[in-house]
Structure 1
Amino acid sequence: MKYDPVKDRLGRLASRHPLLQRLLYGILNLLFLRAWYVRREIRRLLGAMPEERPVRVLDAGTGFGQYAYFVARTFPNAQVRAVDVKSEYLERARQFADQTPYADQITWALDDLTDLQSEGPFDLILAVDVMEHIPEDETVFQHFERVLRPGGHVIINTPSDQGGSDVQEEGDESFIGEHVREGYGRTELAEKLRGAGLQPVKSIYTYGPYGSTAWRWLIKWPMRMLGATWASLLVLPLYYTAALPLGLLLNATDVQWDNEQGTGLFVVARRPHDPA
């Protein structure tokens, strides 16, 4: 079994109780290296804004909703619009958020990023592991530019073309499905953003040698175990007792390391201020 069916089944399981959903969010934030980069950048960008000024965030492709929840919980002045094309994802995330103190800070909507109907302006747009699923990526970037406030930012996390989407092993079928492209080149993505009127201000490789090793230990191998048999849930606590400390150390090293190459790409772009 591949990654996506296992992920979806875990999401359905977690939605049965708010405590399980909180546990799922905690596991995602802890194990997935992308969350380390995304959460750090969110804190940097929104933390630099005056606390008294309301800020609007578009979580474009919210999935399980963990980033919408993180923004609302961390920044009381934030209003989040969380959108996705999968109604079941939205409903599960909404049901959980409605049972938290942050329900009034998040609105949920079925919305297609290639025909974005959500109204701006937004101070920040999150597109975390989304663009690799969308063929019409340039159309999406044009919509992002349209709904961003001048001076606003977009955070993009996506596989790179250096083995992203877990296709680094020659002749091995990708463990991750649902991707329309294996990954972006750093220059390619920057050019597409500029073509839409967005100015890249940060572009770094993630999942370098340390992060890629952590991905295999903390995510890929356990997910394959679950794909083979759900009885693996009984042995995974023992597995993580051994693998988790070193895996987290590898993640922390990746975040601090200047990766010359990596299977992930993390980009921050900005909508320039309108000419006076």
Structure 2
Amino acid sequence: MQYDPIKRSLGKVFNRNPFLRILFYRLLDILLLRSWYIRRELRQWKKIAPKNANILDAGSGFGQYVWRMSQMGKDFQITGVDVKQEQIEDCNLFFKKKKLHNRITFKQADLTKFSEPKTYHLILSVDVMEHIAEDEKVMSKLNQSLKSGGMLIISTPSDQGGSDTHHHHQENQGEVTGFIDEHVRDGYNATEIKEKLKRAGFTSVKVEYSYGKPGNIAWKLSMKYPIIMLNKSKLFFILLPFYYLLTFPVAYVLNHLDVRQVHQSGTGLIVKAIK
């Protein structure tokens, strides 16, 4: 499934002016369950954050979470890094238009090589690790970049179907495919990612499941089914508002339920690691 091209197409529509871009961020906040979890973790972290916290978004993409964090603290210094140069240029332009470029900057970087020792109070990594084969190398680099006592927050698919690869097989080639082809692994085992982070130098690691039964249904309604239809025909863009008019109330309630429950299993993981 080609997920990135659909994201790029939507991005082009909403990036025409800053108002539409902020609207896009808000729509993502509502629709994406992982955003609900990240906002929850950021609210908790803010209670202990220094006023002039230095923050890194490792894999910043469209800049959705950088925007969120920029609104949380007027003195926060935020750096977004991404491997895609076009994303970096796009984000720098947007934040310059919003007159935030004095404390927010984006730069192109390979996370397997990126290290700014003892610089950040918080590092955020949302749906990034599953795309990187040398994940332990990245974890070690992020540990080096944190100040003592700093926190790393990771959102990533679990190995319980998080990349939706469990029933898509190419019989002739013996390869596994799924909803998101860009992933290099099916997802993380909770114990596995905890052990990797410990080896990377983190002293305390807490792992919890996200996307339990309510969240999994909400994800299918709000993300999976629309993207499947958009891959079949771009004409579905016209029908998309009507589709969400019907499904959004259900997905919204399910997201609320999921983020408030403690899950014994789930297709996502939320990880908090302390240096």
TM norm structure 1 = 0.93
CA 115–14 in structure 1, closer or farther in 2 if over 3 Å, else same: same
Contact preservation (8 Å) 1:205, 1:262 = yes
- Secondary structure of the residue aligned to 1:230 is coil
Q: What pairs with 1:99-248 in structure 2 (closer than 5 Å)?
A: 99-118=97-116, 120-169=118-167, 171=169, 173-248=177-252
CA deviation vs aligned residue, 1:203-257 (integer Å, no higher than 9, x gap)? 1111111101000000111112222222212211111111001101101101011
CA deviation vs aligned residue, 1:36-65 (integer Å, no higher than 9, x gap)? 1111111211232343xx110010010111
Aligned to 1:96: 94
In structure 1, C-alpha distance between the alignment counterparts of 2:138 and 2:46, rounded to whole Å: 23
In structure 1, C-alpha distance between the alignment counterparts of 2:86 and 2:118, rounded to whole Å: 25
Kindly indicate whether residue 7 of structure 2 is the aligned counterpart of residue 7 of structure 1: yes
The residue type paired with residue 186 of structure 2 is E
Q: Percent identity?
A: 43
How many angstroms does 1:170 deviate by?
5.7
In structure 1, C-alpha distance between the alignment counterparts of 2:32 and 2:268, rounded to whole Å: 12
User: Which structure 2 segments of 5+ residues have no match?
Assistant: 170-175
Aligned to 2:173: none
Aligned to 1:28: 28
How many angstroms does 1:119 deviate by?
5.1
In structure 1, C-alpha distance between the alignment counterparts of 2:29 and 2:116, rounded to whole Å: 27
- Secondary structure of the residue aligned to 2:133 is coil
Contact preservation (8 Å) 2:81, 2:88 = yes
User: Which structure 1 segments of 5+ residues have no match?
Assistant: 272-276
The residue type paired with residue 36 of structure 1 is W
CA 103–32 in structure 1, closer or farther in 2 if over 3 Å, else same: same
Moved over 6 A (4+): none
CA deviation vs aligned residue, 1:187-206 (integer Å, no higher than 9, x gap)? 00000000011134421111
TM norm structure 2 = 0.93
The residue type paired with residue 161 of structure 1 is D
Does 225-234 or 191-200 show the bigger shift? 225-234
The number of aligned residues is 269
- Secondary structure of the residue aligned to 2:49 is coil
In structure 2, C-alpha distance between the alignment counterparts of 1:168 and 1:39, rounded to whole Å: 29
Q: What pairs with 1:44-59 in structure 2 (closer than 5 Å)?
A: 44-51=44-51, 54-59=52-57
